[in-house]
Amino acid sequence: MARKKKTQFKPQRGPALKQIQELQAKMLEAQEALGEQTVTTSVGGGAVTVVMTGHHELRAIEISPEVIDPEDVEMLQDLIIAAVNEASEKAGEIATQSLAGLTGGLGIPGLT
User: How far apart, in whole angstroms, are the C-alpha atoms of residue 108 and residue 112?
Assistant: 6
Q: Which residues contact 87 (CB under 8 A, 6 or more apart)?
A: 39, 40, 41, 50, 51, 52, 58
Q: Is the pLDDT of residue 112 over 60?
A: no
Q: What is the pLDDT, as a whole number, of residue 105? A: 52
User: How far apart, in whole angstroms, are the C-alpha atoms of residue 97 and residue 112?
Assistant: 8
Q: Which domains, and CATH codes, for the chain?
A: 41-103 (3.30.1310.10)
Closest of 112, 100, 91, 98 to residue 33, by C-alpha: 98
Confidence of residue 60 (pLDDT cuts 50, 70, 90): very high
Least confident of 13-22, 27-36, 71-80: 13-22
Q: What is the pLDDT, as a whole number, of residue 34? A: 84
